[in-house]
């Protein structure tokens, strides 16, 4: 097996703007029909079918049939992670409005990213912790200050024990829609688990989307000074 050749084939498939748009529109783990993907990529249904066939054959997409329609989704979590990573490091100007239109609203607000929290909410939490000087961003890693360590200890999260893991402790994971960092690493996982255990958030069935509970809105305002506006946005 020639790894370089295999990687080049996948890169070539993803390099086409129409196919890249289709892949990005599926990064939220949605199912989309061929006709919807054709509209998003601004190509004819026939052209979309050819692109989708290539993506399915390469293993990047899976396809299911419902009646006369075919529905496509990314092949699995590894493909989702790869797309999000590329979106995060892409040097192009973020088309945030377009990406929001491609994504379900609940995915934009809060969703899982690997095993931690992503979305507008997670970015707001990271910004709040940074503004309070609980967390400092070196560009490569996130570092807890002494006050930050004490803050997490009050939540019941022992940062010292998290540092003994073989995984990275904390790093700025770039949100693929917001294009701003949220907290990745074992600290991000611990914070996500704390929110779940506190009943502040809940998983949605068969989706990466995360629902913020009524209790969670109160909790987020008390702990992080994050308020939910009537418009659906957040105030930090």
Last residue of a domain, one of 26, 61, 92: 92
CATH, residue 67: 1.10.10.10
- The structural domain count of the chain equals 2
Q: What is the pLDDT of residue 164?
A: 80
Q: Are residues 44 and 126 in the same domain?
A: no
DSSP letters for 181-219: EEEEHHHHHHHHHHHHHTTSEEEPTTSSBEEEPHHHHHH
Query: Within this chain, do residues 82 and 109 fall inside the same structural domain, yes or no?
Result: no
Q: Looking at the domain assignment, is residue 100 inside a domain?
A: no
Question: H or E element: which one contains 32?
Answer: strand 32-33
Q: What is the pLDDT of residues 195-212, one digit of tens each?
A: 999 999 999 876 778 999
Q: How far is residue 190's CA from residue 197's CA, in Å, rounded to a whole number?
A: 10
Q: Are residues 140 and 171 in the same domain?
A: yes
- pLDDT tens-digit profile of 20-57? 989 988 876 677 888 778 877 878 888 999 999 999 99
Evaluate whether 88 touches 174 at the Cβ level (below 8 Å). Answer: yes
Whether residues 122 and 190 share a domain: the answer is: yes
- At 36 the pLDDT is 77
Residue 235 has what pLDDT? 72
Torsion 102-86-27-25 (CA) sign: positive
Give residue 182's domain range: 105-235
pLDDT confidence of residue 231:
66
Per-residue model confidence (pLDDT) at position 202: 96
Residues 173 and 188: beta-carbon distance below 8 Å: yes
Domain-located, residue 216: yes
Pairing of strands 111-113, 116-118: antiparallel
Residues of the chain with pLDDT under 50: 93-98, 101
């Amino acid at each position: 097996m020639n790894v370089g050749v295999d990687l080049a084939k996948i890169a070539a498939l993803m390099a086409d703007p129409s196919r890249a748009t289709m892949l990005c529109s599926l990064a939220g783990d949605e199912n989309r029909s061929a006709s919807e993907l054709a509209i998003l990529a601004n190509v004819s249904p026939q052209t979309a079918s050819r692109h989708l066939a290539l993506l399915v054959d390469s293993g990047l997409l899976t396809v299911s049939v419902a009646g006369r329609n075919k529905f496509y989704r990314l092949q699995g979590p590894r493909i989702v992670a790869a797309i999000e990573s590329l979106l995060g490091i892409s040097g192009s100007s973020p088309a945030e409005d377009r990406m929001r239109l491609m994504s379900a609203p609940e995915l934009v607000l809060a969703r899982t990213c690997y095993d931690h929290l992503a979305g507008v909410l997670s970015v707001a939490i990271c910004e709040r912790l940074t503004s309070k000087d609980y967390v400092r961003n070196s560009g490569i890693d996130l570092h807890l200050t002494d006050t930050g360590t004490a803050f997490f200890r009050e939540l019941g999260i022992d940062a010292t024990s998290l540092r003994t893991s073989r995984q990275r402790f904390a790093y700025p994971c770039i949100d693929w829609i917001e294009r701003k960092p949220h907290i990745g690493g074992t600290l991000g996982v611990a914070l996500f688990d704390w929110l779940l255990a506190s009943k502040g958030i809940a998983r949605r069935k068969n989706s990466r989307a995360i629902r913020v509970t009524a209790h969670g809105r109160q909790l987020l305002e008390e702990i992080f000074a994050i308020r939910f506006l009537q418009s659906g946005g957040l105030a930090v």
